[in-house]
Amino acid sequence: MKLPVLEAPAGQNWSCHGCSKCCRGGLLITLDAADRQRILDQNWSTTDGVDPASMMVPHGRGHRLGHQPDGACVFLDPAGRCRIHARFGEAAKPLPCRLYPLTYHPSGPRIAVGVRFDCPSAVANRGATLSSQLEALRPIAPSALQGMPESVPAPMLFAGVSTDWPTFHRVLRRLDAVIAASDVPLSQRWIRGMHGLAALRKAGLGPMSGRDADTLLEGIFRGALTSAASAVTGSGNLTVVARVLLRQQVLDQARRTTVHDLEQKGRHRWLLLKAAIQFLSGSGNTPDLGAGFSKVSFNAVESMTAGTSPESDALLTRYFRVKLQSVAFCGVGYHNLPLHEGFLALALQQAVITWLARWHAVSAGRSRPVVEDFEQAIQRADHNWGHGRNPAPVLRLLVQKGDLERLCVIQRLRS
C-alpha cells in the first residue's frame, strides 16, 4: 500500500517524555475488534500485574481498557510505564494509545499532522520538531484515517459555498499569516481575519488558481484592515447573553469525565447539572473541577483584567496556528464546519481559554493571568476540542449581536 505524504505545522515540537498523564484516567481508550483480540492473545495474568478479568470492560457497543482503583490504566506499571509497550513494543498497543497526542486530517493530496495540546509536552513545545518526524509517522497514518473515503473533498469556505483544495489552502495560508502577525495584538488579529473572510464572502469568488489568486486574496484582506480597526475601537460592552453563552462554552470545554465518574453515573450527572446551573447564573462560586480550577467567585474571574504577556501571546499564537495548519478546525477535523465557521470557533476558543486562564489565576491567588495559567487553560480546553457540542448555534448568536468581536478584544467581562 502506498503511504500518504504528510505535512506538519511550523514551529511545533513534540516527543513523549514519559509523564504518563494520558494513562492516569484522563482518557478512555476504546478498543476495536483487532485491538481487543491482540490484547487477548498477549495472555496477561495476575503474575504480570494485570487482572485478565478486568483489563477490558464493556463500553457502548464495544470495549475499553480497564483501570486500576486510582484511575490509572490497568497496564500502567508502578514506574509509570506501559506494560504492553515494555513487553511487546509500541506496535502492540491499542491504536488510540499509539496515536496520542497526534492527529491526522485530510489536506488535499497530503495528510496534515497535528498535536493535541492536552499533552504537557505539546503545550510546552518540548522534543523534536514534528516536521523532522514525518517519515516515522507515515506508517500509522492509514490506521488513523480508517473509515474515511480515499478522496475527501475540501471543507466549504462558507455555508453552502464549496471549493477545491488549492483554493482552500490559499485562504488558509492567508488566515495563518494573519494569526502569525506578531506585530499586532492577537485579539486584533482575530478581527482582521473575520473581516477578511467577510470581504471574501462579499466578493463571491469561486475557485482560484495562479499567482494572481494570492495577490487578489492579499488585496481583499488588506482592504478589510480599516473596518477591523474601527471594530476594535468601538468594541463596547458585552451583552448578558454573550456572557452566558461564553460560560456555557467554558463548562463544555473544562469538564472532565473520568473512570470514577462513569462508575457513579447518577452522582456525576447531578454534579454536571449543578455545574450547568452555576455557570448559567454566573453568580456565587464556580464548582471545583480540580487541577488548579478551584471553587472561586464568578465575579472575581470575570472582573479580572486578562491581558497577555509576550510569552503567553506566543503560546496562544502557536496553539492556534497548529489548529489552522493541521486542518483541525473545520471539515472532518472539526464538526464538518466550513472554513469560515471553523475560524470563528477558534476565535471563541480564544475567549474560552482566556476565561479558564483567569479562573486558574484566581485559584492561585494571582491578580492577573501569567503564562502558566494559559498553559493550564489550553490543556484543559483542548482536551475536549472536537468532542464537545458543535458550537455553530452559539457562534450564530454571538455574531448576530456583534459579541464575538467584543469577546476577542475586551479585557474585562464585567466591571
pLDDT score of 333 more than 60: yes
Statement to judge: residues 121 and 204 lie in one domain = no
Which of the two residues, 307 and 397, has the higher pLDDT score? 397
Q: How many structural domains comprise the chain?
A: 3
Statement to judge: residues 287 and 216 lie in one domain = yes
Read off the pLDDT of residues 98-152 as tens digits, 9 standing for 90 and up: 999 999 999 999 999 999 999 999 999 999 999 999 999 999 999 999 888 888 9
- Looking at the chain, the whole-number percentage of residues with pLDDT higher than 90 is 68
For residues 68-88, average pLDDT: 92
Statement to judge: residues 342 and 214 lie in one domain = yes
pLDDT of residue 279: 93
**CB under 8 Å to 228, separation ≥6 — which residues?**
188, 191, 192, 194, 195, 196
pLDDT score of 295 more than 80: yes
Judge whether 72 lies within some domain: yes
Q: How far is CA 370 from the centre of its chain?
A: 20
Statement to judge: residues 270 and 322 lie in one domain = yes
Task: Please say whether the dihedral angle defined by the alpha carbons of residues 378, 381, 387 and 388, taken in this order, is positive or negative.
Answer: negative
Judge whether 270 lies within some domain: yes
Statement to judge: residues 339 and 381 lie in one domain = yes
Statement to judge: residues 14 and 74 lie in one domain = no
pLDDT score of 407 more than 80: yes
Statement to judge: residues 118 and 15 lie in one domain = yes
Average pLDDT, the chain: 90
* pLDDT band, very low/low/confident/very high, at 218 (cuts 50, 70, 90): confident
pLDDT score of 207 more than 70: yes
Statement to judge: residues 228 and 289 lie in one domain = yes
Q: Domain residues for 177?
A: 153-415
pLDDT of residue 263: 67
Judge whether 385 lies within some domain: yes
pLDDT score of 283 more than 80: yes
Judge whether 304 lies within some domain: yes
- Measured CA to CA, the distance from residue 63 to residue 356 in angstroms comes to 33
CA end-to-end distance (rounded Å), the chain: 60
For residues 352-376, average pLDDT: 96
pLDDT of residue 360: 97
- Measured CA to CA, the distance from residue 302 to residue 243 in angstroms comes to 9
Judge whether 32 lies within some domain: no
Statement to judge: residues 49 and 139 lie in one domain = no
- Looking at the chain, the whole-number percentage of residues with pLDDT higher than 70 is 95
Judge whether 131 lies within some domain: yes
pLDDT score of 377 more than 80: yes
Judge whether 33 lies within some domain: no
Statement to judge: residues 161 and 277 lie in one domain = yes
For residues 165-188, average pLDDT: 93
Statement to judge: residues 190 and 241 lie in one domain = yes
For residues 251-259, average pLDDT: 81
Statement to judge: residues 133 and 143 lie in one domain = yes
| Beta strands, E only, 62-116 | 62-65, 102-107, 110-115
Instruction: Report the DSSP pairing between strands 62-65 and 30-31.
Output: antiparallel
